[in-house]
Structure 1
Amino acid sequence: MPTMPDRPRVALLVIDMQRGVVAEAHNRDAVVAHIAALVDRARAEAVPVVWVQHSDEELVFGSAEWEYVTQLSRNADEPLVHKSYGDSFEETELETILAARGVGRLMVTGAQTDACIRSTLHGALVRGYDTVLVEDAHTTVDLRQLGSPIGAAEAVAYTNLYWRFSGAPGRVAHTVPTEGVEFAPLG
């Protein structure tokens, strides 16, 4: 039984697709195109699209690097969540936004795979959400210079692998390619 039976809707999360975050990201153009296609589909199917935007000392609120990439644009009626931690739920209004829309399942896209994407996936799962990672709609940069033992492509592949086998009681965690995304309500 789902942990949120009174919240059957799905939402598309677009996390941190900001100029300064994805300028050097792995497979950037393809990921942006996949996310743009998902945003168009979600809008056509009246599925909530929730935008998440990070800021901190390095990614300054209001700067050019802080802005979303030009290929992705938010409609005025779509929520924008400002965050300063990896987990998009941490000290934000994301939970309130999702609850108001009856959302219990998330389609997760964006950047960076090995930081904010992973944190948000785990944050959503422990809060009771069914959480789907769109396997070809997230990206990261090469962090080996900071000590990562793997490059960007490997980080994306590894996250897809381990999320495919994740889960918790009453909750689903899996991956799906862009063309396999289903926005149908749970039930």
Structure 2
Amino acid sequence: MSALPGRHAVALVVVDVQNGVVEQAFERDRVVGTIADLVAGARAADVPVVWVQHADDELVRGSPAWEWVPELRPRASEPAVHKQFGDAFEATDLEQVLAAAEVGSLVVAGAQTDACVRSTIHGAFTRGYDVTLVGDAHTTEDFTDWGAPPPADVIAHTNLYWHHQEAPGRTAAVVAAGDVVWSDPCRRISAS
């Protein structure tokens, strides 16, 4: 149903679940466990898993902070997309990776909700993808000292507005991890 002709496949996109990104994240262990379950489910359904990994001056490529969390390990056959900007499509090969697999629908999980996850779901949607945000599989740090709402509110607000996102020929949805149906991930049901 995406606005990308002939691209009917689904992919799970795991955004920035790296040591330095989720070290102080809200409900880190629960969210990482949920993402691990999503990865296992995608693999069992033969759905491609695409790993997005951020690097910048504070998250130096090759450093322990840059590495994936120990609970999650990409398979050698699963693509890793390396980025320097919030939107995983900007100055990366993500579009080429997805096009090669004929992917038109994305299921997105990861960190941080109010930065790279938000940028990536919007970037995908504006590029014509159907985008399902897994409502209980993204997280962020506590930035209340800088004026941000508490992390639980940031997550809830993101789930709320993404559930109501609309554009011609595309679908945005929010589902709980346990409700992801890999053959139809954009079903309109509420996240937990």
TM-score of the two chains, using structure 1 as the length reference: 0.96
Q: CA–CA distance in 1 between the matches of 2:2 and 2:57?
A: 39
1:11 and 2:33 correspond: no
Answer yes or no: is the 8 Å Cα contact 2:18–2:69 preserved in 1: yes
What CA RMSD, in Å, does the superposition of the two structures yield over aligned residues? 1.1
Alignment of structure 1 residues 119-158 onto 2, 5 Å: 119-148=119-148, 150-158=149-157
Provide, for residues 139-168 of structure 1, a one-character-per-residue CA deviation record: whole Å limited to 9, x for no partner: 0001122332x0111111110000000021
User: Which amino acid is 1:23 matched to?
Assistant: E
Q: Could you tell me how far 1:4 is from its partner in structure 2?
A: 1.8
Distance 2:51 2:88 in 1: 10
Contact 2:2 2:105 in 1 (8 A): no
Instruction: Give the 5 Å matches for 1:62-73.
Output: 62-73=62-73
Note the residue ranges of structure 2 that are not aligned, 5 or more in a row: 186-192
Percent of aligned positions that are identical: 55
Shift of 1:174: 1.1
CA contact (8 A) 1:125 1:167 kept: no
Residue correspondences, number: 185
Contact 2:163–2:173 (Cα < 8 Å) also in 1:
yes
Q: Provide the rounded CA distance (Å) in 1 between the counterparts of 2:37 and 2:162.
A: 22
Q: Distance in 2 between matches of 1:42 and 1:25?
A: 24
Quote how far apart the aligned CAs of 1:185 are: 6.0
The DSSP-based 3-state class of the residue aligned with 2:157 is: helix
C-alpha distance in 2, partners of 1:68/1:58? 15
Asked if the contact 1:8/1:185 (under 8 Å) is kept, the reply is: no
Partner of 1:115: 115
SS of equivalent residue, structure 2 residue 172: strand
| Matches of 1:115 and 1:16, distance apart in 2 | 10
Q: Which amino acid aligns with 1:124?
A: A
* Matches of 1:161 and 1:90, distance apart in 2: 25
Q: What is the aligned partner in structure 1 of residue 183 from structure 2?
A: 184
Query: Do the aligned partners of 1:14 and 1:108 also contact (CA within 8 Å) in 2?
Result: yes
Partners of 1:5 and 1:184 in 2: CA distance:
18
Asked if the contact 2:135–2:176 (Cα under 8 Å) also holds between the matched residues in 1, the reply is yes
In the TM superposition, residue 170 of structure 1 has moved relative to its aligned partner by 0.5
- List structure 1 runs of 4+ shifted beyond 6 angstroms: none
